[in-house]
């Protein structure tokens, strides 16, 4: 699958929803990724292989997250309930690392899928859970409510509750995590919400619903009317965002600012890893503007644009996985 569109033609409506969803299971390559640095935006050199997989799996020489092979011993505890507002509950999977201990760093994974599709069990996102566990993080991969049944802010509030649940004494004891060392990772719609989890609120990042580090790939981080002037967002992605927000236009959508990580940045926010591809249908210029806001606030960050048109976890080749793991270890420890 090639997500780049000919000049003047961008995916629309149902087709773009399918593209965003299939990015969780259909992997497109972006290779030879440059190592990011704290502060500034890196333009990565390399070649886009343009390879694609068959639906539901990875064909041939797997790329992106499809190139990851979980080591023996990574164990998954599936369908654990976490409490959310109103007495309801959602489920998450816990991927346990080979390391043992009572005070290990933890990462919450937020899956993509245009806010309308996907779940923690989608092949690509289960691989993300296993990959982070293989790096020594106790990894919690969460489901959340989807459009059209639920719109903003239902899902982000649920994920905030997941952070609170991770910090409860029973969760800390059961999974051997350090409640002061919780990070979050997401891609696409999940990247948008991961970034928002990291920026909304203020103060210490080791308590409440705050997180100590975040890595996001291809996330729409500015859904305001101003954000639509960054790069060239297609009508399809704009309709998806408006549907998620419950608005008819960006000009008359006050919740767009509330849902955008870029509008919440302050100096207390956690170190942030941002990545997009040059030809992504979520414009990488949003990530670059987000990085500029973080820089202005003095927040440590990595921002980079990789070649090609891969989207979300299709960008997670071995090099990018290594760099993200190193970033998370730098700020969450081991």
CA angle 176, 182, 187 (to 5 degrees): 120
The pLDDT assigned to 322 comes to 98
The pLDDT assigned to 158 comes to 96
Per DSSP, the three-state class of 218 is coil
The pLDDT assigned to 25 comes to 37
The pLDDT assigned to 16 comes to 53
Could you please report the per-residue DSSP string of 136-187? T-EEEEE----TTTS-TTHHHHHHHHHHHHHTSHHHHHHHTEEEEEEEEEEE
Q: Is residue 4 part of a domain?
A: no
Task: Determine the Cα–Cα distance for residues 238 and 258; give it in Å rounded to an integer.
Answer: 16
DSSP 34: P
The pLDDT assigned to 23 comes to 43
Q: Which domain holds residue 71?
A: 13-332
Question: What are the residues facing 138 on neighbouring strands?
Answer: 106
Q: Is residue 101 part of a domain?
A: yes
**What's the structural domain count of the chain?**
1
32: left (phi over 0), alpha (psi -120 to 50) or beta: left
The pLDDT assigned to 22 comes to 44
Q: Is residue 1 part of a domain?
A: no
Q: At what angle do helices 235-245 and 13-22 cross, to 10 degrees?
A: 80
Distances (CA, A) of 161 to 11, 63, 88, 202, 329: 34, 33, 11, 16, 24
Task: Identify whether the C-beta of residue 317 lies closer than 8 Å to the C-beta of residue 33.
Answer: yes
Q: Is residue 113 part of a domain?
A: yes
Q: Is residue 199 part of a domain?
A: yes
- Hunting for tokens 């092979």 — which residue is that? 69
CATH number at residue 42: 3.40.50.1820
Q: Is residue 180 part of a domain?
A: yes
The pLDDT assigned to 57 comes to 26
Q: Is residue 2 part of a domain?
A: no
- Low-confidence residues in the chain, pLDDT < 50: 1-12, 19, 21-38, 44-61
The pLDDT assigned to 236 comes to 93
The pLDDT assigned to 17 comes to 54
Q: Is residue 5 part of a domain?
A: no
Q: What is the pLDDT of residues 49-84, one digit of tens each?
A: 222 222 222 223 368 999 999 999 999 999 999 977
Task: Determine the Cα–Cα distance for residues 110 and 120; give it in Å rounded to an integer.
Answer: 8
């Amino acid at each position: 699958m090639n997500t780049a569109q000919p000049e003047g033609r961008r995916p629309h409506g149902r087709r773009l929803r399918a593209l965003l969803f299939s990015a969780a299971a259909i992997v497109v390559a972006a290779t030879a990724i440059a190592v990011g640095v704290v502060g500034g935006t890196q333009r990565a050199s390399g070649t886009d292989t343009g390879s694609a997989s068959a639906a539901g799996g990875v064909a041939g020489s797997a790329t992106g997250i499809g190139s990851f092979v979980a080591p023996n011993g990574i164990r998954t505890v599936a369908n654990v309930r976490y409490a959310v507002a109103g007495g309801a509950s959602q489920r998450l999977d816990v991927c346990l690392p080979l390391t043992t201990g009572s005070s290990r760093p933890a990462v919450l994974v937020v899956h993509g899928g245009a806010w309308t599709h996907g779940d923690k069990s989608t092949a690509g996102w289960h691989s993300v859970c296993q990959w982070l566990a293989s790096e020594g993080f106790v990894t919690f991969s969460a489901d959340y409510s989807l459009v059209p049944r639920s719109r903003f802010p239902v899902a982000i509030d649920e994920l905030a509750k997941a952070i609170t649940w991770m910090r409860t004494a029973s969760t800390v004891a059961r999974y051997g995590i350090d409640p002061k060392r919780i990070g979050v990772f997401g891609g696409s719609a999940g990247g948008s919400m991961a970034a928002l989890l990291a920026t909304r609120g203020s103060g210490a990042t080791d308590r409440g619903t705050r997180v100590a580090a975040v890595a996001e790939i291809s996330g729409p981080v500015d859904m305001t009317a101003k954000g639509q002037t960054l790069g060239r967002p297609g009508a399809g992605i704009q309709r998806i965002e408006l549907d998620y927000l419950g608005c008819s236009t960006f000009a008359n959508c006050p919740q767009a600012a509330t849902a955008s990580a870029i509008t919440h940045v302050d100096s207390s926010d956690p170190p942030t890893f941002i990545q997009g591809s040059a030809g992504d249908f979520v414009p990488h210029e949003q990530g670059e503007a987000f990085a500029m806001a973080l820089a202005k606030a003095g927040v440590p960050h990595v921002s980079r644009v990789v070649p090609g048109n891969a989207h979300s976890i299709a960008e997670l080749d071995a090099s990018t996985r290594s760099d993200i793991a190193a970033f998370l270890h730098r700020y969450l420890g081991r």
